[in-house]
Amino acid sequence: MSKDNGGELNVTRERMIQLLNEDLAGEYQAIIAYVVYSQVIKGAAYTDIARELEAHAGEELAHALKISKQIDYLGGTPVVTPKPVKVSKDPVEMLRADLQNERETVGRYRERIRQAEAMGEFALSETLRTIIVQEQEHEIDLSAALNIEVPPAIKPGDKKASSSGEPAASSRH
């Protein structure tokens, strides 16, 4: 079932290292985006969210450290290059870009937790669970700032959803 959208349950150690390195590149991207957006987002309406974004930056750094530790434990080498960060001067576009990334991140970690469990790597799974709790909180913060309901996570390999840019559903009324 999950094969249809690029999901893979049984992965080798090597593949897990590769996937975690993609996750790590996403964490670096999140750190950079939150560092920059929290400082450049302007306007009285965004004062509270700017503070939230600053807090997110620190949490993303903690995630990067945790993922790197797991990569090292599995015998891999952590990557040093972030995924590209979207640049914008428009506050709403910044928040949407953050939300889009968080949706992809949650989708990726959901899959990663299942894979870690299937490998019997329960400490990895536990680590990922603590991270995904915070990623969902990030989604909630961003959705609240955008005044929308939290949109669904984006499954890995679901490129249509990931390139559409818009939270699919349910702005209120």
Least distance CB 36 / Fe ion (angstroms): 15
- The three-class DSSP label of residue 8 is coil
- Minimal distance in Å, beta carbon 114 to Fe ion? 18
Where is 166: in which H helix or E strand?
A: none
Considering the complex, what minimum distance in angstroms separates the CB of residue 152 from Fe ion?
16
Positions that interact with Fe ion (CB under 5 A): 27, 60, 63, 102, 135, 138
Question: With respect to Fe ion, which residue has the nearer C-beta, 83 or 88?
Answer: 83
- Point out the residue whose Cβ comes nearest to Fe ion: 63
Task: For the CB of residue 121, give the shortest distance to Fe ion in the complex, in Å.
Answer: 19
The nearer residue to Fe ion, 44 or 80, going by C-beta atoms, is 80
Region at 83 (left for phi over 0; alpha for psi -120 to 50; beta for the rest): beta
**CA–CA distances in Å: residue 155 to residues 5, 17, 132:** 7, 19, 14
Whether 128 contacts 112, CB under 8 Å: yes
Name which of 63 and 103 has its Cβ closer to Fe ion. 63
For the chain, how far is it from start to end, CA to CA, in angstroms? 34
Looking at the Cβ atoms of 27 and 104, the one nearer to Fe ion is 27
